[in-house]
Amino acid sequence: MSALLEPVPQPPAWSPDPAALWERYPWLARLDECPQDAVFHAEGDVGRHTRMVIAALAELPAWRALEPAARAELFAAALLHDVAKPDVTEVLPDGHVSSKGHAKKGARRARRILWELGADWQARERISALVEHHLLPFVAIERERGERDLLRASLGAPLSWLAILAEADARGRICADQAQILERIELFVAWAEELGCLDAPYAFPSQQARFLYFRSTERSRLAPGYDDSRGEAVVLCGLPAAGKSSWAREHAGDWPVIALDALRAELGVDPSKNQGKVVAAAREQARVYLRAGQPFVWDGTNLTRSLRRQVIGLCTDYSFRVRLVWVEPPSLSELRARNAARKRPVPVQVVERLLDKLEFPGAQEAQVLEVYQSP
């Protein structure tokens, strides 16, 4: 956390130093060249908006009242909340400016930046979650599935922090509807308080109830989760060389392991090429165990929610519970060194591409989520 604590405004002045921040973090310079729609951001480019947001954040009593580590995480989230706007911004034919998708992409970029800075995984993922959901307090009250989005966001970071970030975002801009935005944030806070998840993840009746709620758009958050599991599958996820195979050797016991690396080598599939053949072979192996009620381990990278959903869905179709295990390497430098030392290293460009598209697993994706810190 030291890299995040150093530039955070401190009492008694509480004054951010934008010049020092822009010098310290080169990725901020891109924001100064990115336009915004004048209807929502009459102040100008993303860089100017970000400077206004960190200044507004430093003025908020709710932010100042937090513990130093929490202030640091929120300050980092404020710096990073629009970090992906330059990647997605386009000027439309009518002259308006669109930055659709910047929050979700921003979470991935923030994760990469924070990882390179050496932030611990808990702080990294809370900040990334804040970036991903930073627009939610503005819009949740109007969304058809706003409650579902709110409950999911509560699993990633405190919604009270998200509301503080949203208030700074609202105050750090020039727009005609600022008062209405601030009112929506107040309603968001009241809604989260009513649901009991303003400062803690929403408490579902059980792990199974939580899992089933997020698997179906029709299910009530209050519905109990009847567990009719016939067995359990462990689905490993993590970057190449993170230590997934080591986890399997140490923790799988006598459970069979479906190792995608081994299948890749057996089938002669290059890791940089299409992996359809490898995945099909792995799924066929899994079905053998699922039909027999045999617990097993699926050892693959599984770095995106959509990929994990396919594997978890296969297990669920056979009434298997899923334990999702994220394998966290000691550092990115160690991971890169481990990969380079492998007999068959994954190409560097593939690893870097995987880093950029990685989506950290959420508690809503499976009955159990564990994070294993690889030695």
Tens digits of residue pLDDT in 290-334: 999 999 999 999 999 999 999 999 999 999 999 999 999 999 999
Fold of 231-373: Rossmann fold (3.40.50)
Q: What pLDDT score was predicted for residue 109?
A: 97
Q: What pLDDT score was predicted for residue 336?
A: 96
**Once rounded to an integer, what is the mean pLDDT over residues 163-171?**
98
- Mean pLDDT across the chain, nearest whole number? 95
CA distances from residue 149 to 134, 164, 207 in whole angstroms, order as listed: 12, 18, 18
- Radius of gyration in angstroms for the set of CA atoms belonging to the chain, rounded to a whole number: 22
Q: What is the DSSP letter of 338?
A: H
In the chain, the percentage of residues whose pLDDT exceeds 70 is 99
Confidence of residue 5 (pLDDT cuts 50, 70, 90): low
Q: What is the DSSP letter of 26?
A: G
**Once rounded to an integer, what is the mean pLDDT over residues 230-252?**
96
Residue type, 71: R
Q: How many CB atoms lie within 10 A of CB 30?
A: 15
Q: What pLDDT score was predicted for residue 338?
A: 96
Domain residue limits, the chain: 2-195, 231-373
Question: Does the N-terminal peptide bond of residue 201 adopt cis geometry, omega within 30 degrees of 0?
Answer: no
- Measured between its terminal Cα atoms, the distance across the chain in Å is 19
Q: What pLDDT score was predicted for residue 264?
A: 87
Q: What pLDDT score was predicted for residue 344?
A: 85
Cβ(103)–Cβ(135) under 8 Å?
Answer: yes
Tens digits of residue pLDDT in 245-276: 999 999 999 999 999 988 988 888 887 788 88
pLDDT above 70: residue 87: yes
Our CA angle for 200, 206, 207, nearest 5°, is: 85
Tens digits of residue pLDDT in 325-372: 999 999 999 999 999 999 889 999 999 999 999 999 999 999 999 999
pLDDT above 80: residue 1: no
pLDDT above 60: residue 2: no
Q: Going by CATH, does the domain composed of 2-195 fall within 1.20.1260? A: no
Q: What pLDDT score was predicted for residue 273?
A: 81
Q: What pLDDT score was predicted for residue 119?
A: 93
Confidence of residue 283 (pLDDT cuts 50, 70, 90): very high
Rounded CA separation 332/117 (Å): 10
> For the purposes of burial, counting CB atoms within 10 Å of the CB of 211, is it exposed (0-12), middle (13-18) or buried (19 or more)?
buried
Instruction: Please name the residue ranges forming H helices in 241-292.
Output: 244-251, 260-267, 276-292
Q: What pLDDT score was predicted for residue 271?
A: 78
Confidence of residue 230 (pLDDT cuts 50, 70, 90): very high
Confidence of residue 3 (pLDDT cuts 50, 70, 90): low
In the chain, the percentage of residues whose pLDDT exceeds 90 is 91
